A and B are shown apart, each in its own frame.
Chain A
Amino acid sequence: MAIFIDSDTKVVVQGITGRDGSFHTREMMAYGTRVVAGVTPGKGSQTFEGPNGSSVPIFNGMDEAVRETGADTSVIYVPPRFAAGAILEAAESGVDLIVAITEGIPVLDMARAHAFARDRGVRVLGPNCPGLISPGKSKVGILPGQIVAEGPIGVVSRSGTLTYEAVFQLTTAGLGQTTCVGIGGDPLIGTNFISCLEAFEEDPETTAVVMIGEIGGTDEQEAATYVKENMSKPVVGFIAGQTAPPGRRMGHAGAIISGSSGTAEEKIRVFNENGISVAIRPADIVGLLKSRLA
């Protein structure tokens, strides 16, 4: 088992002919993801050449792509100025999951897009996220396939490369993963920590969860309360940004301490209070996990 995506997931790539879209589509296909369609307006009826002689049909719009191929998941590599529109289109096309990789989408556009998707019962992951990977089954997004391994650990994170760092250490230590989910570094994201924790709690193959947060907002604090009240599985946490100054955006649009709220110190304290083992260094995650699983 895994959460959100598995070997049956049928993916349509929005922005398949762009630089990032085409590169990562080939990466996904090489990993074994079932990419069934691509969408680029104006390039319908062309074909995308995948690895090893494989190919994917390109459509002008999402409606047609989903109707023709039965895709259930969309991944978006569309530039910021068109990305919110791509999410709206995907939300009406019949897919269940939209993975929005694009960084730099105007936040007010996302407020509308999230509301629109919510109304239609469609899950959005991101934006500004690396996507997700269920090792050995499927990857949707840009997470590097070679650093993951199949196993019992669920990973959920707001970051990209910091997630890779943690996952790589898990894999090296022999702790494979059910699914690794990057929920995104933007202030308004579609799938939060709690949604992922719920899914990991329900997934019979996941035995423990690693949750990687950062400064800004209160998502981690609410997730910590959820862990205490609803989770039977051990959770190990890490928070980035202990040295971040208040009021400054640390790369991610959502990584900002507003006033006195959203500090790493506060999040670490709430983690500790709610039974989440907090790794002070990324290198401590494996040790804590092993001790919680022992």
Chain B
Amino acid sequence: MDIHEYQAKERFRSVGIPVPPGRVVGTPEEAEVAAEEYGGTVVIKAQVHSGGRGKAGGVKLAKHAIEARDYASQILGMDINGFSVDKVLVTPAEDIDTEAYVGVLLDRKAQAATFMVSPEGGIDIEEVAHTSPNAIRKLSVDPRYGMLPHQAYWLASFLYDDPSLVNQARKIIAQLYDAFVSSGASMAEINPLITTPAGEVKAIDAKMSIDDSELFRRPEIAEMRDTSSEPPSETKAREAGLSYVKLEGDVGCCVNGAGLAMATMDLVKYYGGEPANFLDIGGSSNPDKVVAALEIITSDPKVKVILFNIFGGITRCDDVANGIIEAIENIDIELPIVIRLTGTNEDLALKILEDAGLSAYTSMDEVVEKAVELAGVA
């Protein structure tokens, strides 16, 4: 789960990282008031779950309160890479001497939180890692011992020569690790970490993603979820305990298991169609889940056909078939439905479905081809 810049900054402040003050507002008038109170030049920053905010015009420097109001009114309601802006952060502008990069993420290969720091700030770290790896210092933190003082120092001394700056950065790096662990993050980033002419080191931007599996034990972070930044169907799916990602095509997919769900989408594409979604109904044949899945899929107006692909293993196909029929009886669906069921008790399942007048297949290729054909006709 991504959290907003202003939320990540709250987490950073709570562990002691120096972050300039800021106020999140939803109207130009509130932006004006905030700018007035801070005095001087402020930055107006769109709060959306997307990179490239600056390039899209979502970050503006306002020299006085009236300008802050005007920029806020431009930015609020703006669309940035498909995300609509409904909040801006107003924060005093800082005098910047240098910009550096400090980030930490869960590295799959090292199986540990891994820091990357670079004296070149405002960069795309992935690109720099690729093009000039020497501009980055990297360190994996042993989860058994945490960030050790000399490791934080080693990273900080790659950013600065001045001992006072190194000392400040060393603390910030150790604090960033604390924020990462105490938030259950999978990624945390300060980009840029600045130095000011007065010789202070500060985080003027903040980015953080939280491991979804941590949310059950961190209710204060779970509350930070901004459902306005996702399609309503994704919110509904999460509440129903379904794994769902909305896509742009017209073949609605309902599959058990994540790998098979991806393979089904790929096969839709292979046969010339476009999947409308990723949806994993899990191992359960619970009719409630099937009903929820069908409601979510049919709420997407682009969907022209619904494709079920179920591999019964431990899950019995006849249970799933009954679930599908119960679901169809409970919600009004006008779209064509094609179903593939194979595995345990498939014969029983096919009979149940055919008796109910539904097309049923046992081969994944056949059913996908049929679904693509129906999407083309509809």
Contacts and interface: CB of A to CB of B under 8 A. Distances in A.
B266 A81 contact: no
A144 to B, nearest CB: 3
Interface stretch (B20-28, B62-70, B164-172, B256-264): B256-264
A144 B113 CA distance: 36
Given A165-B364, A283-B364, A212 B259 contact: yes
Given A104-B213, A240-B266, A161 B364 contact: no
Interface residues of B, number: 51
Interface in A69-125: 80-81, 104-108, 110-112, 114-116
Nearest to B249: A243
A142 interface: yes
Contacts of B283: 142, 160
B56 to A, nearest CB: 16
Contacts of A188: 106, 108, 111
B278 A250 contact: yes
A218 B245 contact: no
Interface centre among B106, B255, B259, B364 (most CB of A within 10 A): B259
Contact of B111 (A111, A146, A168): A111
Nearest to A241: B262
Contacts of A253: 211-213
A290 interface: no
B268 interface: yes
B181 A108 contact: yes
Contact of B143 (A108, A146, A157, A168): A108
B213 A243 contact: no
Nearest to B140: A111
A251 interface: yes
A242 B258 contact: no
Given A111-B112, A187-B106, A245-B245, A164 B343 contact: yes
Contacts of B181: 108
B109 interface: yes
B267 to A, nearest CB: 6
Contacts of B112: 111, 115
B217 interface: yes
Contacts of B211: 106-108, 253
Contact of A108 (B214, B247, B270): B214
B260 A107 contact: no
Interface in B78-121: 106, 108-109, 111-113
B311 interface: yes
B261 A251 contact: yes
Contacts of A142: 283, 313-314
Nearest to A24: B314
A258 B2 CA distance: 14
A243 B266 contact: yes
A161 B260 contact: yes
B332 to A, nearest CB: 28
Given A107-B106, A111-B143, A255-B262, A168 B113 contact: no
Interface centre among B109, B247, B266 (most CB of A within 10 A): B266
Contacts of B312: 144
Contact of B144 (A27, A105, A112): A112
Nearest to B243: A251
Interface string B299-318: 00000000000011110000
A115 B245 contact: no
A164 B364 CA distance: 13
Interface in A39-75: none
A158 interface: yes
B213 A250 contact: no
B245 A160 contact: no
B282 to A, nearest CB: 9
Contact of B259 (A80, A158, A242): A158
A250 B262 contact: yes
User: Which 4 residue pairs are nearest across A and B when measured between Cβ atoms?
Assistant: A159-B259, A251-B258, A161-B257, A162-B259
Given A112-B143, A168-B311, 20 more contacts: A108-B106, A110-B111, A115-B111, A144-B343, A161-B259, A162-B259, A163-B259, A164-B313, A165-B260, A165-B311, A187-B106, A187-B108, A240-B263, A243-B265, A244-B262, A250-B261, A250-B262, A253-B211, A282-B267, A283-B363
28 contacts: A24-B314, A80-B216, A104-B212, A106-B214, A108-B211, A108-B214, A111-B106, A142-B313, A159-B258, A159-B260, A160-B259, A161-B255, A161-B259, A162-B262, A165-B311, A217-B108, A240-B263, A241-B262, A241-B266, A245-B245, A245-B247, A249-B212, A250-B258, A251-B278, A251-B280, A252-B258, A253-B213, A283-B365
